[in-house]
Amino acid sequence: MDLDEVLDKHRRAGKILAEIKDEVRDKVRVGVSLLEIAEFIEGETLKRGAEPAFPCNISIDDEAAHATPSRGDTRVFKEGEVVKIDLGAHIDGYIADTAFTVDLGDNSALLEASRKAVENAVGIIRAGINTSEIGAVIEDTIKSFGFRPIVNLTGHGLDRYVQHAPPSIPNVHHQHGAELKAWDVVAIEPFATDGAGRVSERGGAEIYSFTMQKPVRSQHARELLEKIAPYRTLPFAKRWIDMKRLDLAMRELERAKVLHGYPILKQDGGGIISQSEETLIVLEDGCEVIT
């Protein structure tokens, strides 16, 4: 497929996400259910002619990513919470990825730190820039607000049906980065925190992706493989799958390493996190934010 068509598909996916973000921002309120917001976002993505590139992530306070409601989840947003909403859409595998934070308490400076970090990164991105320059600007911006970046979460490239493709774009000063080229499609996603600035996997997973085809014996495992085939290598939510003996099938495929689970990423030692993310196309003399 030629480059114009590819970029057009990224742009259409991005425009759909931008519209949904506008609509959903005011819906995230105390007492509203997390599941309702996730289903609204994923449903609107489909209605507008794209598909979710991954389950809507709703991560609260010290959670950074990979949290999504379970089937029948009854949790609601509570006073004081810092809510990260991360949404993705793709058309024919060409992805856009964006995130924003809603403050249900008193954390406006923390939100501004990650927002401004994206803005400043976007301001310097053009063909030929090294990711080390981007990381430096992000870290310096977040620190100027008195917060820390999360050091082990990064921005990334977006390839067809691959949400986290090279190059990785660290949110901190680093050596030996990669150079961005014109027409690269990348996501910039800084996380700012009042905590230590490092996350690790905790607890069970609600999000999975297919890794590789292997022969599987049981009927239910084969049924699950058929159900997830449309997602290809993109992440999907357990709540998207409706079948008997789902847990058994998931366990079997995970043990066989046919499926990879993504446990929630939580900050070590606690601390509140804000996130801001945009997808952009690198141009010779700047960049085009598509979300």
Specify whether 164 is catalytic: yes
Specify whether 156 is catalytic: yes
Catalytic residue among 62, 139, 184, 189: 189
Q: How many CB atoms lie within 10 A of CB 180?
A: 23
Nearer to Mn ion, 112 or 277 (CB): 277
Contact between 155 and 129 under an 8 Å Cβ cutoff? The reply is: no
Q: Which residue has the tokens 């689970």?
A: 261
Q: How far is the CB of 2 from Mn ion (least distance, A)?
A: 26
Q: How far is the CB of 277 from Mn ion (least distance, A)?
A: 5
Q: Which residue has the tokens 């979300």?
A: 291
Nearer to Mn ion, 23 or 284 (CB): 23
Q: How far is CA 147 from the centre of its chain?
A: 21
Q: How far is the CB of 244 from Mn ion (least distance, A)?
A: 32
Query: What pairing do the DSSP bridges indicate for beta strands 63-65 and 154-159?
Result: unpaired
Q: How far is the CB of 199 from Mn ion (least distance, A)?
A: 14
Catalytic residue among 51, 62, 63, 86: 86
Specify whether 97 is catalytic: yes
Query: Who contacts 214 (Cβ-Cβ below 8 Å, separation ≥6)?
Result: 256, 257, 258
Q: d(Cα 254, Cα 262) in Å, to the nearest integer?
A: 11
Closest to 38 (Cα-Cα) out of 76, 9, 81: 76
Nearer to Mn ion, 115 or 220 (CB): 115
Nearer to Mn ion, 15 or 222 (CB): 15
Catalytic residue among 159, 164, 223, 288: 164
Contacts with Mn ion by CB under 5 A lie at 86, 97, 99, 187, 189, 277
Specify whether 86 is catalytic: yes
**Amino acid found at 249:** A
Active-site residues, by number, are 86, 97, 156, 164, 189, 277
